[in-house]
Amino acid sequence: MSLTELPLEIGNLTSLRGLDLYRNQLTELPPEIDNLTNLMDLTLGDNQLTKLPPEIGNLTSLRDLDLEYNQLMELPSQIGDLSGLERLSVGNNQLTAIPLSMVKLEKLSQGRS
């Protein structure tokens, strides 16, 4: 059984450090995800996400963000606020451009690890 949505109460898990939602049927994330300020690893690969909420920019502890194999057409400019981000995976989406704000992501590494 696959998840099709996350409950709004996900925002109550403020001490959560890792969240693996790989291979579900999620089409969106609730804005309450911005309360997960201690989250370091977020795996959303192989879902049906078409967009990310701008609140994702509040996850400043995030180090690893996996968005591969979704239906994303764009990334919110707030992704540039993820100052601790070291790894971002966005392959196999529908992206046509990346936000200019990503130039602020100084810890982001190049290439595959």
Class of CATH domain 8-104: alpha beta
Domain locations along the chain: 8-104
Q: What is the pLDDT of residues 44-87, one digit of tens each?
A: 999 999 999 999 999 999 999 999 999 999 999 999 999 999 99
pLDDT, one tens digit per residue, over 15-30 is 999 999 999 999 999 9
pTM of full prediction above 0.75: yes
The β-bridge relationship of strands 41-43 and 64-66 is: parallel
β-sheet bridge partners, residue 19: 42
| Alpha carbon distance 48, 31 (integer Å) | 17
